[in-house]
Structure 1
Amino acid sequence: MKNKSDKADKTDKIEPPKLPDPALLPQQPIDALQTKEEYSRCQISDVQLEYQEAEKVSFDKVLFKNVIISESSLRAIELTDVVFENCDFSNVDFSEAFIHRTEFRQCKMIGTDFTRARFQNVSVTDSLCDFASFRFGKLKLTAFGQCSLNTADFYQADFQKVAFDECKMDQAVMAGVKLKDTDLSSCEFTGLQVDIEDLPGCIIAADQAASFAGLLGLVIK
């Protein structure tokens, strides 16, 4: 029988951001982002940025609060020891991003593109990630908690100790994802797009089994 310590093993090794006391972080004014620009040890808050187009922008030990980025492409962004609180990056292109020791808290990332991104020591909590793309990404020591991931796309992503806790994941795409040891038992979905050969070792609740019956050629009465 699975207990709480089993799930804790998936998440307790995630390193939190090494962020200084927010009171010690100066406010960083920002009007536009430039390719290969670097930001370090600062706070960015109550800012709306539109139509940004830059690559390899780097943020190290930065706190974002109430930041909105829209209609933008920020490919290969680099985030280390970063916290996002109540930010909106819906439909932004973050493909090929490098994200390490980063937390997303109560963020809106509907349709955000993380294709081929690398996540390590990342937590995403209480956030809207419907239609977000993590295709071909590498997710290591990453946790999604109380998130909406309906129709999110993880096609052929590489999972290494990825946790999903009480997430809504209806019709999420996980084809080509090895799901061994991935615990979906607390999540809500009527169906997932998966490949039958990737299911062995996936952890689900008894009432979720019907969602996978079609893959096995079963008919449930």
Structure 2
Amino acid sequence: MRTGKPFSMPPVRVISPTFESQVESSKSLKEWLRTEETVRGICFSKQMEESMDCSYKSITNCTFSYVQFNNCKLKATHFTDVRFEHCDLSNISFAESSLFRVEFISCKLVGTNLPETILNHCRMQDCNARYLNFSMSKINQAEFTTCDLRNSDFNDCKLTSIAFTNCELVEAEFSHTPLRGIDLSDSHIEGIHVNLPDIRGAIVSTHQAMDLTSLLGLVIKD
């Protein structure tokens, strides 16, 4: 009988944002988007964005540093070559948006909503992203490093070339999201919610495998 080769996830090779010359802006992003369909080449620093509600905009070659977003919605917005650093994006909605070469570094993303988004070459590092919502999204070439993703929602997602490194995935939701070939071995996954067919082929540690026996309905007796 021929034994098939084990599945191997395509390598994770995230491309960082490409930045060209930028100018510091005294205007808020909200002010720019009132008159512009595309915001390009702007650096936003130490600002407050409040009650912004925009759709079908484009943000390209921009950086956001120490910016706080409060009660904001950016639906179906295209982000290309963008970095958020030390920003508070809690509860912001990026529903149905696309993110290409976007980084979130040391950001607060508690309850941030990204349902039905498309993410390509994205990086999230040292972020508090509890209750983050990625449901029904397509994520390709992405790195999550030292992030708190407890109770996050990855339901009904398509994940390709994605890496979780030293992340908190406790009680995260992965129902109907195949995890084949994804390495979870150095993250905490206690209480993860996942269907048995979807966890097959995931890479886990021995300790994690013991925690996942509940999916098989097994009772372990020593």
TM > 0.5 fold call: yes
CA distance in 1, matches of 2:14, 2:74: 25
Amino acid at match of 1:175: S
Deviation at 1:42, TM superposition (A): 1.7
Deviation at 1:25, TM superposition (A): 1.9
Residue 121 of structure 1 is matched in structure 2 by: 121
Residue 45 of structure 1 is matched in structure 2 by: 45
Give the secondary structure class of the aligned counterpart of 2:46: strand
Deviation at 1:10, TM superposition (A): 3.6
Deviation at 1:36, TM superposition (A): 6.4
Residue 5 of structure 2 is matched in structure 1 by: none
- Identity of aligned pairs, percent? 28
Aligned runs of 1:62-77 on 2, under 5 Å?
62-77=62-77
Give the secondary structure class of the aligned counterpart of 1:34: helix
Asked if 2 retains the 8 angstrom alpha-carbon contact of 1:139 and 1:157, the reply is yes
Q: Any gaps of 5 or more consecutive residues in structure 1?
A: 1-5
Structure 1 segments of 4 or more deviating over 4 A?
none
Number of matched residues?
211
Residue 146 of structure 1 is matched in structure 2 by: 146
Deviation at 1:157, TM superposition (A): 0.4
| Cα deviation 1:82-112 (Å, max 9, x = unaligned) | 1111011100111111000111100111000
RMSD between aligned alpha carbons? 1.7
Residue 29 of structure 1 is matched in structure 2 by: 26
Deviation at 1:30, TM superposition (A): 2.6
Asked if 2 retains the 8 angstrom alpha-carbon contact of 1:36 and 1:55, the reply is no
CA distance in 2, matches of 1:134, 1:35: 30
| Cα deviation 1:143-164 (Å, max 9, x = unaligned) | 1000000000000000011110
Question: Which structure: larger Rg?
Answer: 2
Residue 185 of structure 1 is matched in structure 2 by: 185
TM-score by length of 1: 0.91
Give the secondary structure class of the aligned counterpart of 1:122: strand
Give the secondary structure class of the aligned counterpart of 2:178: coil
CA distance in 1, matches of 2:39, 2:186: 38
Give the secondary structure class of the aligned counterpart of 2:34: coil
